Amino acid sequence: MVIVMTPAAGDTEISTVIAHIEAHGGQAFVSKGVARTIVGVVGSPDVLETLDASGLAGVDHTVRITAPYKLVSAENHTKRTTVRVGGVPIGPDTFTLIAGPCAVETAEQTMESARMAQRAGATLLRGGAYKPRTSPYAFQGLGIAALRILADVREETGLPIVTEVLDTADVDVVAEYADMLQIGTRNMQNFGLLQAVGSVGKPVMLKRGLTATYEEWLMAAEYVAQRGNLDIVLCERGIRTFETATRNTLDVSAVPMVHALSHLPIVVDPSHSAGKRDLVVPLTRAAIAVGADAVMVDVHADPTAALCDGPQALYGEELDELARACRELPPMLGRRV
């Protein structure tokens, strides 16, 4: 069960609701979004049966949720959520382009990539400081030094930053610099990490696990929400299939499915889906057509020299094509760019 508070409800009303739930033997989980607060209730069917919060001050309405993921379910929000990242909206009325290097390598390379991103119309900058690499011998990211570079580039360009956190021990430092914390595909079910990012009060981008079902993915999002953070953006980044010609297979169904199952916005990452720059623009067009709230792409001024994922990084002509697709297609679907 979820109790949806009115937009005007304050701490006193929320505390009264929590006390009411606990007095009935239930457990309360408070999640704050930009527009309103919702209180999730966990308890036995008896508890839920007798608990009537509808008369309490500040309560807008109560919803019985049948999905196993309660707080992120579409059942408790008829309106889709807009998540604001450093002031930039990701949600139903707008279309957002996120771009940047796969990894932060140097200050110059990051600044060049940010300028490219901005020229293409991006309003958020991506860039990895901590890289999840298959090989322990591959470039692992510059860590804190990269976070400082990202902060300098944000200062210079005004672009808020999206960057991945790999380890629970780094959550605080990443949250200090980042505007949105990314949970990578390999960590989608790292439950301790999900709980940690749910507690730091910054938006979270949750990438879909390599072989995760929608339900597993939304249950992972529920871990973040259950710790009090509803500012979650899901990211479809391709799943593992029998096909080897592409790095992963972009599951375009994920966009309308997530919109049907959850109130959270969804981003598509065509770069990590395809692994090949030639496919990034066509897959971006597909993502926009199925209703993606944002697209996130890798860019690099010199992909041949990139320390990570060079073959999928856009530059030159493809970047211009991407800019055109992101400018022209979303308005046809009723979105502001």
Residues in contact with ligand PEP by the rule CB under 6 A: 102, 128, 132, 164, 184-185, 207, 237, 272
Q: How far apart are CA 65 and CA 44, in angstroms?
A: 14
Handedness of CA 130, 194, 204, 282 (dihedral sign): positive
Is the backbone of residue 148 left (phi > 0), alpha (psi -120 to 50) or beta?
alpha
Q: Tokens 């993921």 identify what position?
A: 69
According to DSSP, the residues that pair with 63 across neighbouring strands are: 2
190: amino acid identity, one letter: N
Nearer to ligand PEP, 37 or 96 (CB): 96
Nearer to ligand PEP, 237 or 285 (CB): 237
Contacts to Mn ion from residues 186-215, by CB under 5 A: none
Site map 297..336 versus Mn ion, x via CB under 5 A:
------------x---------------------------
Site map 62..101 versus Mn ion, x via CB under 5 A:
----------------------------------------
The answer to whether 102 contacts Mn ion (rule: CB under 5 A) is yes
Q: What's the closest the beta carbon of residue 308 comes to Mn ion, in angstroms?
A: 5
Which of ligand PEP, Mn ion, none does residue 20 bind to, with CB < 5 to 8 Å depending on kind? Answer: none
Which of ligand PEP, Mn ion, none does residue 237 bind to, with CB < 5 to 8 Å depending on kind? Answer: ligand PEP
Q: What's the closest the beta carbon of residue 220 comes to ligand PEP, in angstroms?
A: 13
Q: What's the closest the beta carbon of residue 272 comes to Mn ion, in angstroms?
A: 6
> What does the angle CA 29 – CA 214 – CA 136 come to, to the nearest 5 degrees?
95
CA 280 to chain centre: 19
Which of Mn ion, ligand PEP, none does residue 247 bind to, with CB < 5 to 8 Å depending on kind? Answer: none
Phi–psi pair at 245, nearest 5 degrees: -70, -30
Answer for the pair 269, 207: CB distance below 8 angstroms, yes or no: yes
Task: Quote the tokens at residue 75.
Answer: 């059942």
The answer to whether 164 contacts Mn ion (rule: CB under 5 A) is no
Enumerate residues 6+ apart whose C-beta is below 8 A from 311.
275, 276, 277, 303
